[in-house]
Amino acid sequence: MLVNETLIEFADDLSELDSFLKKFKLDKYYIVIDSNVYELYKDILANHFKNIKYVIIPSGEQYKNIDTVTYILKELLEANITRGDYLIGIGGGVTLDICGFVASILYRGIKHILIPTTLLADVDATVGGKCGVDFLNRKNIIGTFYEPKGIYITPYFLKTLSKDEFNSGLGELIKYAFLDYNFKLSEETNLKDTIEKAVLIKKQYVEADFKDNGLRMCLNLGHTFGHAIELKYNLLHGLAVLNGIKMIFALEKDLGIDVSKEEIYFNELLDKYHLTLNNYDYHDYLDDIFKDKKNFNGVLNLVFVKDFKPYLYKTTRGELDDKLKG
């Protein structure tokens, strides 16, 4: 599959990894990997990567910051990376976002390849070229649009995910059910096929609006409120997104928008996968969401759902307050 200029391969395991890598001119490359993934898979990865410089970074959202970026840059430059070399990111969404950001700014851009190791990264963090870091307690507020040359997606790594990490990935998959009503989640469905279907949906949005100026914002369903609570309560991203969707539905209802069918289906999916959400009151986070990246000169682009289709609801803080009071 091609998304813009990114070659994406879906595989059952790592047996196709070597042939995938041969499609790129990897004369010299460096790997950015988080410490957890490295410890779990270093012996297996040694079968595919020989005499390679690993830059190992700590695991966790709290390390998605400028300090980690400068550490990686220092390690790479001291290892004599050149503009023609590749950077390969192996890990979850945090690692891949940081890797892409480093690739985009080093020498004003070097080529990179991403190998996601979590369900969340498979369906969210790899495709589309968004990369960046958190800053001043604001999520992904510093970043770039920079597409990888290749992405290798396999459920092989998912066997070592904790239940919470897997559920976080389910959170993003559930979001896709409200981006395309034909996307169905089923326990019987082959996981690789489900991931591929989700990526196909994302492909449509990304190729139509790469720089996130309109339609692509719909992929952020649940993210506006989700980002507001994710860092504050140290929630896993996909679970924060699910809470964000719940809060959006509550806001829509208070604005007189009928989302009863969507809410019923949403709750059915939560029950099906035994996911429990918190009872955050969206009113408590209205100040926070107007600091979101989707705020353009005081006009916030909220992602709403109606008839199982996402759309942008544009509002100012004053307009929103007036409608809620009315």
Give dist(CA 154, CA 110) in Å, integer. Answer: 24
Q: Is the pLDDT of residue 295 over 90?
A: no
Average pLDDT over residues 183-190: 69
Indicate the domain borders of the chain: 2-160, 171-325
Query: What's the pLDDT at 189?
Result: 62
Chain position carrying tokens 């994302």 = 202
Q: Is the pLDDT of residue 296 over 80?
A: yes
Range 2-160 has CATH code 3.60.15.10: no
Query: Which contacts of 269-276 are long-range, i.e. CB under 8 A and separated by 24 or more positions?
Result: 269/174, 269/177, 269/185, 270/174, 270/242, 272/185, 272/187, 273/167, 273/170, 273/174, 273/185, 275/167, 275/170, 275/171, 275/239, 275/242
Task: Give the Å distances, CA to CA, from 6 to 15, 104, 113, 154, 192.
Answer: 21, 15, 9, 16, 19
The whole-model pTM stands at 0.92
Range 171-325 has CATH code 3.40.120.10: no
pLDDT in tens, 11-49: 999 999 999 999 998 989 999 999 999 999 999 999 999
pLDDT in tens, 225-256: 999 999 899 999 999 999 999 999 999 999 99
CB count, 10 Å around CB of 53?
A: 17
Q: Which residues pair with 311 in a beta bridge?
A: 304
